[in-house]
Structure 1
Amino acid sequence: MYDVSPVQLLIIAAAGLITSVIGGVAGYGTGALMPLVLVPIVGAEPVVPIIALSAIFNNVSRATLFRDLVDWRRVRLVILPALPTCALGAWGYTLLDGRGALVVIGSMLVLSVPLRRTLKGRGVTLGNGALATSAAGWGVLVGGTSGAGIILISLLMAAGLEGAAVIATDAAVSTVMGVLKFGVFGVSGVITAQVVAVGLLMGVIAVPGAWLAKRLTERLPLRVHTAILDAVVITGGAAMLFRAATF
């Protein structure tokens, strides 16, 4: 992990606040956008552990603010099959070098947008069994990459959730996944003092971001926001893949 200057910490904090607001409004965005800021500053390897720690704060605050809308039945349907595969994905990530981490994160970002749009465009619907089965596959992705929250949002919508209930349920699920991921990273020895410091900085700044997001939920035109976010995610993912090819 590279040395991080005070100016770079301010950049990370500002980006963390902005992406936490975006994530609170759309249900995704933090894990997809923060790698674009973090990779040039800290390198690729610590990105997923950093975001896993910060996501715990982000998702706890989001789930608390939207607690009345959490669908706990679907939370259980997703968590139970996703826990073991998430642990497997997180362990696999710890085996990657810098180039491998760039490829995994970049590929996830590039593929997540068309996958989400395909699921939405085809009007895919998921019953309880299909949601649980899909959650097992999603667990591998969320354990070993950043930005897989986009897929969970699509799965929950296909299972019948709408509006803020999607954001609330996603936050509850993602809180548990974040704790598990960070635990696996800790046991694997990839958690350093800098990882904790940067993760805590992003996590603390995400708390007011979630509050701001709640105020914006009913005011922001999501179609425009989603189009811009998708473009940024794909461009950033492609840039990471290019960097991996020239690593």
Structure 2
Amino acid sequence: MLPLADLLMIGGAAFFAALVGGVTGYGTGLLLPPVLVPLIWAEAVVPVIGLSALFTNASRVAANRPDLDPELLRRIAPVALPATLLGAYGFTLLSGRGAAMLIGVMLILMVPLRTLARRRGLVLSGRGLTAASAGYGVVNGGTSGSGVLLLTLLMAAGLTGPQVIATDAAISFLLGLGKSAMFAARGALDLRLAGLALVIGLTAIPATFLAKRLSYRLPGHWHLRVLDGAVLLGGLLLIFRAG
């Protein structure tokens, strides 16, 4: 088990990441890797964050169930789940250095991908939605912080506001179950890491309620700029360490 000082630092980082994620709509899985990698190694980061996210996603589903879009859930989850399992399996084949490089590169790519999709006014339906769901599944299985892609996908499919939050949480929860099962079956998620995921998940719960109150007081979109800067810095640090 990690020393108490490390657990407190991880708990603080999890609270802050959940707070930022609750205000911006994403970011929890993007901000934690730079903190976790030096403590538990890169190959353990995606399994731990994936399991811890089950707590927040389950609570969001319960709180926003009336806004859930069952049609999109049925269209996206069955396509994304096998792709997620494939991505998770591929991640378990990476070395610690390879895992750190992959996470770092994906963190950096998430920022321009979100911006590009927003500016282009991306619209998805039919085969485009199916292809995007499969692509998202692979990325989700092998990296951390891919939630921004699912949010973008859902908005491009026509959802807004609470519908996005509820449907995103439901899909993420189902994919997270499969992802965690694959990691456990491959030996990438043991009881020690599961305990750490529990600490992160429980710490993040009160932050989500605080974030709801803060979101009404923050001016403009400055928090998105801060988040993007933090994500880019974290990705560069991971690549630097892996090199």
Q: Same fold (TM over 0.5)?
A: yes
Alignment TM class, shorter chain as reference: over 0.9
1:80-105 deviations in whole A, cap 9, x for unaligned? 11011100000011111110100110
Cα deviation, residue 238, structure 1: 1.1
* Residue of structure 1 in register with 2:49 after alignment: 51
Runs of 4+ in 1 over 4 A off after TM superposition: none
Q: Aligned letter for 2:54?
A: I
**Distance apart, 1:221 and its partner CA:** 3.6
C-alpha change, 1:61 and 1:17, in structure 2 (3 Å) is same
Alignment of 1:82-231 (within 5 A): 82-221=80-219, 223-231=221-229
Question: Which is worse superposed, 122-131 or 6-15?
Answer: 122-131
Structure 2 unmatched ranges of 5 or more? none
Q: 1:119 to 1:21 in 2, by over 3 A?
A: same
Contact 1:59 1:172 in 2 (8 A): yes
Distance of 2:74 and 2:53 partners within structure 1: 19
User: Partner of 1:71 in structure 2?
Assistant: 69
- Counterpart pick for 2:9 among 1, 8, 11: 11
Tell me how far 1:222 sits from its aligned partner.
Answer: 5.5
Distance in 2 (CA, whole Å) between partners of 1:237 and 1:164 is 30
Residues 103-130 of structure 1: CA distance to partner in whole angstroms, max 9, x if unpaired?
1101110001101111111111112432
Q: How do 1:225-244 and structure 2 match up within 5 A?
A: 225-244=223-242
Closer, same or farther in 2 for the Cα pair 1:222/1:155, shift >3 Å?
farther
Give the length in aligned residue pairs: 243
Q: Which moved more, 1:184-193 or 1:137-146?
A: 184-193
Aligned partners of 1:183 and 1:221: how far apart in 2?
A: 41
> What is the RMSD computed on CA atoms of the aligned residues?
1.4
Aligned partners of 1:106 and 1:46: how far apart in 2? 14
SS in 1 for 2:170: helix
Structure 1: give runs of 5+ residues left out of the alignment: none
Question: Percent same amino acid at aligned positions?
Answer: 47
Question: SS at 1:79's partner residue?
Answer: helix
Q: Could you tell me which residue of structure 2 aligns to residue 36 of structure 1?
A: 34
When the two structures are superposed, what TM-score results if normalisation uses the length of structure 1?
0.93
What TM-score results when the alignment is normalised by the length of structure 2?
Answer: 0.95
